[in-house]
Every structure is written in structure tokens, then in C-alpha cells.
Amino acid sequence: MGAAGRGGADRSGDRTVMPRCNTVEGPGGHNTYKAAMNGTYKSEHGGLKNGFVRSGALFEEEKFYNGGLYKRPFHEAFEETPMLVAVLTYMGYGILTLFGYMRDFMRDWKIEKCHNATEREEQKDFVPLYQDFENFYTRNLYMRIRDNWNRPVCSVPGERVDIMERFTDDYNWTFKFSGRVIKGVMNMGSYNYLGFAQNHGVCADSSSSVLHEYGAGVCSTRQEMGNLDKHEELERLVARFLGVEAALAYGMGFATNSMNIPALVGKGCLILSDELNHASLVLGARLSGATIRIFKHNNMQSLEKLLRDAIVQGQPRTHRPWKKILIVVEGIYSMEGSIVRLPEVIALKKKYRAYLYLDEAHSIGALGPNGRGVVDYFGLDPRDVDIMMGTFTKSFGGAGGYIGGSKVLIDYLRKNSHSTAYATSMSPPVAEQIITAMKCIMGEDGSTLGRQRVEQLAENTRYFRRRLTEMGFIIYGNSDSPVVPLMLYMPAKIGAFGREMLKRNIGVVVVGFPATPIIESRARFCVSAAHTKEMLDLALTKISEVGDLLQLKYSRHHFVPLLDRPFDETTYEETED
Amino acid sequence: MDVKYIKDYLSWLYYQYLLITCSYVLEPWEKSIFNTLLLTAIAMVIYSSYVFIPIHVRLAMEFFSGICGGQHESTIALMS
């Protein structure tokens, strides 16, 4: 317990993943969270509840942020949607919906040809398949701007990509290739955080040599003939990288979540899930058969209330205690760019003795001074997180996912998880790519290249976010998160932004409903360590140009700092271990 | 120079109109339907305001002068 103790200023040195604080797993019942949190300062001295000390006002050498749980400032902003923009957005959707109804009417009366799937004549009397809102949306709204998605890429998706040019002559119902290639489009959309998506360099060389040795496919599962020495090596390395006892690697990141949560919890268990959790977590939670309750995004008051209710009330009707309570959170939320309030989650988890499942799909490699994810970012003890899940798909430029945790947990999963029993094991060249990339980040290849990349990413992120905010765009999320959502709001601007940016040779990802709430359409940039300052400057110039053209600079700098509210409802100091 | 500037400004304004009303993503024939409908509505609003506002203003004036101004007339009548 008390991993968030002592040092606020001890983050400069190149320490390993274990935090240096000395209050880990203390058996003493009186060495409570309060003592660890306030450290050398007396709790009564500050006068504020929860040892809240205004940053840097009294103590210069060591700063406590946000109630002493955080060792670094935690800036997260979600600027309010301006009222006029919201009204105009709804109006736009209204117009498109009206035209959608008109087109559906025309298709129904055979005035125009219907291009998309419909029920067959003999199925007309059954439950309709294509009549819900999402089908209406796909047919009448998404189709109009479909050219912004699924563009075929024909090169390595590094910091620059080549895109196959295509055109449509029936308003996006079908596409034809012109045969030309748009060369050197700047890639602001891949999750290539550390720039390991390369076709040259150490990673590519070593994986190609492994390809020559092992081939590409394994053709068996881990439990049968597919357990290669490369996989064992990878798992040991992952465990070392994370600072946990053991780890397990899978060939698919999505399935790591959706197949392992059912192995961990079941009927009679409770899952507390963040409302913005990824689809894989949602699917896993539903497949498990456990009761699912949703807490507000990154809102610890909401989480604590659910935890309290769960413990007080127990299961519905029978009021038996829950078998297990599993809190499911992500490290970086990929649509909001926010970072989980891990110190608070861990404090709550300890207080209420729940389990914690942390999905580091976006944060592993991309956050923290050593690139070891959100645990490293906050300087916490990885052993406080029961299940550390993450993917190799993003920062490591590979594919697949891992689960790290105690030896007991990993042995249990190795036996019981569907992913180990039924999934084909990871392709050896991919495993080698991950091993090389991970060793590079850890500095075990004898170079400082990995550390440079991690630092470059952090620098790029801060620069990019700061410049965009200065330009007056509404940017969501944490100031340290490499996922940068830029708000577009209006449906026509989704399409216009993607097209205008591609015209200026920059590839971006634009996102609308159903991935976001209907009015909060956005463009999502992913900053990479492979982007140079010149590239970022060029991209920023172009974004600003398009922003002026489309009138996207909505910001009125009315930030809603979420952590400025008082810690009235959470009572961390009552924690007894 | 000025003509070019005004032209640019107008085309920018039209682009904003397209974006805000979402006619940017409509097909050309839908766009023309939408524009026709919108123009008709605006024209009708303008025409009806041209026709009816003067009448309403006059009636209102008469009504209010009936309340406030009538007093004066009667006082004058009394004095004479």
C-alpha cells in the first residue's frame, strides 16, 4: 500500500520500474495511507482535508498535486461545447435526417435504386433486420462521407504513407481505383507512438532473420505444438518490462480483453467499468455473465459510490456479498485522450478490496519516463494493479496483446483462458519485432535509442497539444496524452476536414457517431516519436489553415478543470490495510 | 483588387453556408431542393413582412394612440 508516498521530486533519475518509495506492502496496520501520503509533513499542518496542499505554495522542493496522490500535475480539460455550435450541429443532423427519410421513401417506392442490403421478399414478415437507427445512419449519413475511411494504404504505415487514389461516380456507394498513388502523405492517424512501424532498422532486420528461421505461421495453439522459445522469451521480457511476476502473450489484442475477462470473473461477480471503455472490454464483460455497472468517465466519486453500494447492498435480491469486484479501466482512453486517475483508482481499490484490471492498450510504451505505461507515468508500483493488460499493436509496431500479473494469476489464465486454449499462437517474426522493440525501449540493446524515442514522443505530444490549444481549437484530454482529439462537431465538417487535410497531403482520422456521442464528432491525431519538429510544424500550419477555412477554432478558453473540485466525497485517509 | 476580395469573401461565405447546413454532403439535386426550399421560405418571410408589417404597425399606432393620445384630444375638446 501507499505506493504514492514520499518523493515528488524523485522522478528525474533513471530508476527502474519499481518506485523507490519505502512503504510498499507494509504489514503494520497503523502505517495507513494517511501517513504515507503526507510523508514528512504533518497532516494537521496543512489544515485541508486529505492533506491537500496547494502545489508549490509552501514546500518548494517537493510538490504534492491533487491531494498528495499525484506526483505530477494532472491537467485534463474537456471544454464545453459552445451553445451555438451545439444548436447548429443538431440542425445539421436534422436536415440530413430529413433528406435521409426522403431518400428512404424514394427507395421504398422504387423511384431510385437501393444499393444497400435489404430483407429478401420472403423474409418481409420476420423481425426487420435493417430498420434501426444505426442502419438509417449508415445508409443516409455515413455513406455521404464514406470516402474518408478505409482508404487502402500501400506502404509501411510509418510517419509517411502512400495512399492509393480512388474515386467514386455514384456518391460513395462504390469506389474505383484510378491507379495512381498519393505519395508521402504525412501520417497523423496511426498508433505508431514510438515509431517502430518501420521496414528497416534493427526490429525489421531481426524479425526477418527470425522469419527465415521459424517461418511466419505456427499452425497450433500455445497448449499444443505452438509454444515456441520465442514466446517464452517474449513473456519473460514482458514480465520484466512491466515489473510483474509473470506475463502471458497473445496473438490478438482485442481477444486478450474479450477472452480473458470471462476467464477471470463470472456469475455472482461485479464488474465496474468506465463508461468509455473500449469495445473489447465491453464485449469481455458481457461474455463473462457478471453484473456490469458503469461509472462516469474517470469520475472517482462515481466509482466510489458504486463500490460502496456494491459492498453495502451485495447482490440484488439475495444480498449475498459479491464474489469478486473487478474495476476495469483503460490507461489512455483512445477517443477522449484522457489518462486514468490511477492513483485514486488504486487507493479506492485498496480501500474497498476490489480487483483492478488496467488496459494499457494505448499507454504502454507511450507514457512514463521509461515508456512503461501509466503505472510508470504516475510512479506507482505495478504490483498494485492486479491485472495489467496491454497490446503490442501500438507502440511496439507488432501485433497481439499481453496480460501481466502475479504468477498465480498467469498460471490460472494459461490453463483457463480461451485465448491460450484455442487461439493460434503469435507469429514468430511478430514476437521478435516486439522483443527487439521492447529491448530497445529498456535500453538493453546497448543504445539510448529507445529512451530517445520515449522522450521525443513526450516532447512532441506537449508541443503539438500546446500549439493546437494556442490556435484556439477545442482539444480534449490530458496534456501528456499522445492521443489528441480535435473537436469538429458538425457532420459536414467531418467529411470536409478529412478531405481538406488529404488535399494538403496529411492523413488524419476523423471520428463520428457511433464511436463518439452524436454531436461530439472529432478528428483524432496520434503523435508519434517518428514525427520531426519540421513535420509537426508543417502539419500544424496546415491544420490551422483548414481550421480557418472550416471555422473550427471554437475555443473560448473556458476550461473545466476537473480536479479543482474539493475532495469531499472521497475519503482516502480512512484506508486501513 | 476589391472585386477579387469580395468574390473570395462571398465564396467563403457560401462554403460556410454549405458546411453549417450540411448541404456540403448532399448530392447536387438534393442541394438544389434544399436551396430552393430555403430560398422560398426566406422569400415568403420577406414578402409577408413587407405586406403585413406596415399594416400591423399602423394598427398598433392607432390602438396605442387610442389609449394614450385620446385623452389629449378630449381635454382639448373640453377646453374649447
- Which residues of A fall within a CB distance of 8 Å from B19? 490, 492-493, 496, 550-551
Contact B19 A145 (CB under 8 A): no
**pLDDT single digits (tens) A129-144:** 777 788 888 888 999 9
Question: What 3-state DSSP class applies to A510?
Answer: strand
Q: How confident is the model at residue A66 (pLDDT cuts 50, 70, 90)?
A: low
| Chain B interface, best mutation among A89, A90, A97, A99, by max B CB count within 10 A | A99
A64, pLDDT greater than 70:
no
pLDDT tens for A228-256 read 999 999 999 999 999 999 999 999 999 99
Helix (H) / strand (E) containing A249? strand A246-250
CB half-sphere exposure, A425, CA atoms < 13 A: 26
- Interface contact flag, A492 B20, Cβ < 8 Å: yes
pLDDT for residue A309: 94
Cα distances from A430 to residues A224, A230, A284, A316, A381, in angstroms, run 20, 10, 25, 46, 29
As a whole number of Å, the end-to-end CA separation of chain B is 69
Parent domain of B52: 2-79
User: Is any Cβ of chain A less than 8 angstroms from the Cβ of B20?
Assistant: yes
Contacts of A47 (CB under 8 A, 6+ apart): none
Q: For the ranges A21-25, A191-195, A276-280, B61-65, which has the lowest average pLDDT?
A: A21-25
Write the pLDDT tens digit of every residue in A267-302.
Answer: 999 999 999 999 999 999 999 999 999 999 999 999
CATH number of A202-442: 3.40.640.10
Amino acid B71: pLDDT: 57
% of chain A with per-residue pLDDT over 90: 68
Chain B positions in Cβ-Cβ contact with residue A88 (cut-off 8 Å): 20
pLDDT higher than threshold 50 for residue A356: yes
Q: What is the mean pLDDT of chain A?
A: 84
- Say if residue A561 is exposed, middle or buried (CB neighbours under 10 Å; 0-12, 13-18, 19+): exposed
- Using an 8 Å CB-CB cutoff, list chain B residues near A95: 21-23, 34
Task: Check residue B80 and give its pLDDT.
Answer: 52
From the list B16, B27, B30, the residue facing A551 with the nearest CB is: B16
What distance in Å separates residue B30's CA from the closest CA in chain A? 8
**Arithmetic mean of pLDDT, B41-53:** 95
Is residue B32 within 8 angstroms of chain A, CB to CB?
A: no
Task: Indicate whether A49 pLDDT > 70.
Answer: no
**Selected residue of A90, A96, A141 to mutate for chain B interface (largest B Cβ count, 10 A):** A96
CB contact under 8 A, B19 and A551: yes
> B18 contacts in A (CB within 8 Å)?
492
pLDDT-derived band at A56 (thresholds 50, 70, 90) equals very low
Predicted confidence at residue A259, as pLDDT, reads 93
- Chain B residues in contact with A491 by the CB 8 A cut-off are 22, 25
CATH 3.40.50.720: does it fit domain A89-187+448-560? no
Q: Are strands A509-511 and A522-526 parallel, antiparallel or unpaired?
A: antiparallel
Chain A contact set for B23 (CB, 8 A)? 95, 492
What DSSP string describes A13-25? Answer: S---SS---S-TT
| Residue bearing the bigger pLDDT, A526 or B75 | A526
